[in-house]
Structure 1
Amino acid sequence: MTQLGLPDAIQACLFDLDGVVTKTAVVHAAAWKEMFDRFLSDFDGERGRPFDAVAEYDEYVDGRPRADGVRAFLDSRGIHLPEGTPDDPPQARTVHGLGNRKNVLLLEKIRAGGVEAYEGTLRYLEAVRAEGLRTAIVSSSANCRDVLRAVGAEHFFDVRIDGVVAAERHLPGKPHPDTFLAAAHDLGVEPSRAAVFEDALAGMDAGRTGGFGYVVGVDRVGQADALYAHGATLVVKDLAELGGRQ
């Protein structure tokens, strides 16, 4: 193992954004809850039960592209909506309309409270770069670049595969491994020589099925067992635990 806590064969590190680099996972969960709770208020019984911003967020929407998250959650409640199009207005009662409504709420919350980065991750990124490893940010968020710029972290990454790039290249989102595989490809590294850093269960699934050399689960919410079950090689509470410059 290297001083970065990684196998010697690892040549590149692929980082998720929300919950790994930045503290936006809580803001995302709050935006999903506000959007879904307003929508669910029109339903009775179990289908109208408020959205659980921990359990249901983790299971159905965390780490997935917006529309995929909407579909997965609505399917769990037996609710079916027209698909719509990515350009649907936020008030549209379609899958894409709900996703766009969530994004409006997210941007409002980010602008109101700002964005913070995890200091342990920033220090680890500095150490990774100092050791000459290649780096990529891999996120389902279409706001990835803006968030990185907000915390002054854009310069840490050689490659960015986010929601915008995934749409342009028609890459399916997590739990499929395609976005991570695209990042490794763009870095010129075989998946077996790349490490994935993720906090979402969908991200663990992507790391496992993509054949990556090392999959680090970042446990911010007390779900270590679930991260291991979904494919983590190692689980830490903060990347500072892996070593590097402290």
Structure 2
Amino acid sequence: MLGLPDGTRACLFDLDGVLTDTASVHAAAWKQMFDEYLRTRAEREGAGSDPAFRPFDVKSDYGPYVDGKPRLAGTDSFLRSRGIELPAGGPGDAPGAETVFALATRKNDLVQEKIVTVGVDVYPGSVRYLHAVKEAGLTTAVVSSSANAEQVLRVAGLLELIDHRVDGITAKERGLPGKPAPDTFLAAAADLGVGKEEAVVFEDALAGVASGKAGGFGFVVGVDRLGHADALREHGADVVVADLAELLEDGS
């Protein structure tokens, strides 16, 4: 009924783009943060080698540089794509500091603001699938690079359907590298007391699918929200669906 291999005991879900449509919230926050910085930089450099303001393009920049990556890595990745190298910085940076840490913090502040003011959309098919998973007696975990995962789950009304969470806060506390490294997914499986071959990874990001493949999990489900099914398969997805409800035999 769940479209999963026999012997599956746990389902490990990415959050943004798989269970909730917070990807649009994150994309809007990334764009606002980067555009503010890029505009200021262009105005400051004036007659420099490349003074023109080129805004962050959600269609061409979000997927390759920030989607599915830890916030600091995503910030640095996009900046380098524009030939910009900034100091890493740290928690003591002032809000306006020109460091990767300060910019990433600004993005996180914007996300939290938008979650409260705009809210969180939940994919109905994912909710149906989560209920079916729980009814089948499988354990569930959310594995996300976001530090706001608990807040998103609460706002979305999904907390009672999730048994465990390994998020950006967990990764920082444990020193776990982010996706595409498999460490966060492996940690979730270990925390749930299941072997990786007994766990299924659900991901919409290429980096996330790659991490599931690299971790040697029993099955990797790619969720195609952006029309890149072939790329998801190339990165290691065993099956690709447009919505989790497709995995339910009766589609209900």
Bin the TM-score by the shorter chain: over 0.9
Is 1:111 equivalent to 2:116 in the alignment? yes
Which of residues 211, 217, 225 is equivalent to 2:216? 211
Residues 93-242 of structure 1: pairs in structure 2 closer than 5 A: 93-242=98-247
Separation in structure 2 between the aligned mates of residue 173 and residue 115 of structure 1, nearest angstrom:
24
Q: Mapping of 1:14-25 within 5 angstroms?
A: 14-25=12-23
The C-alpha deviation readout for 1:99-140, integer Å capped at 9, x for no partner, is 011111112222221112111111101100111111110011
1:238–1:225 CA distance, 2 compared to 1 (3 A): same
TM-score, structure 2 normalization: 0.92
CA distance in 2, matches of 1:179, 1:39: 31
Which runs of structure 2 are paired with 1:6-21 in the superposition (5 Å)?
Answer: 6-21=4-19
CA spacing shift, 1:226–1:46, aligned 2, 3 Å? farther
Secondary structure of 1:93's counterpart equals: coil
Is the contact made by 1:89 and 1:100 (CA closer than 8 Å) also made in structure 2?
Answer: no
In the alignment, the residues of structure 2 paired with residue 226 and residue 92 of structure 1 have an alpha-carbon distance, to the nearest angstrom, of 37
Compared with structure 1, are the counterparts of its residues 133 and 202 closer, same or farther at alpha carbon in structure 2 (3 Å cutoff)?
same
Distance 2:9 2:210 in 1: 21
Q: Secondary structure at the match of 1:235?
A: strand
CA deviation digits over 1:70-110, x for unaligned, max 9?
A: 11111222211111113434322101101011111112222
What is residue 83 of structure 2 aligned with on the other side? 78
**Distance in 2, Cα, partners of 1:14 & 1:89:** 36
User: What does the per-residue CA deviation read over 1:180-207, in whole Å, with 9 as the maximum and x for residues that have no partner?
Assistant: 0000000111111111001111101101
CA contact (8 A) 1:184 1:191 kept: yes
Contact 1:40 1:47 in 2 (8 A): no
Aligned residue for 2:58, secondary structure, equals: coil
- Within 2, Cα distance between the matches of 1:162 and 1:8? 28
Per the normalisation by structure 1, the TM-score is 0.95
Q: Residue 175 of structure 1 contacts residue 203 of structure 1 at CA under 8 Å; is this kept in 2?
A: yes
Distance apart, 1:52 and its partner CA? 1.6
Aligned residues: 244
Q: Does 1:5 align with 2:10?
A: no
Unmatched segments (≥5 aa) in structure 1: none
Q: Distance in 1 between matches of 2:222 and 2:74?
A: 20
Name the CA distance, whole Å, in 1 between partners of 2:53 and 2:236.
33
Q: Which one is further off, 34-43 or 171-180?
A: 34-43
Could you tell me how far 1:223 is from its partner in structure 2?
1.2
Percent identity over the alignment is: 59
Q: Which letter does structure 1 place at the counterpart of 2:229?
A: A
For residues 86 and 17 of structure 1, the distance between their equivalents in structure 2, rounded to whole angstroms, comes to: 26
Where does structure 1 differ by over 3 angstroms across 4 or more consecutive aligned residues? 43-48
- Against the structure 1 CA distance between its residues 19 and 46, is the aligned structure 2 distance closer, same or farther, given a 3 Å change threshold? farther
Distance 2:52 2:67 in 1: 20
Where structure 2 has 5 or more consecutive residues not aligned to the other structure, the ranges are 43-48
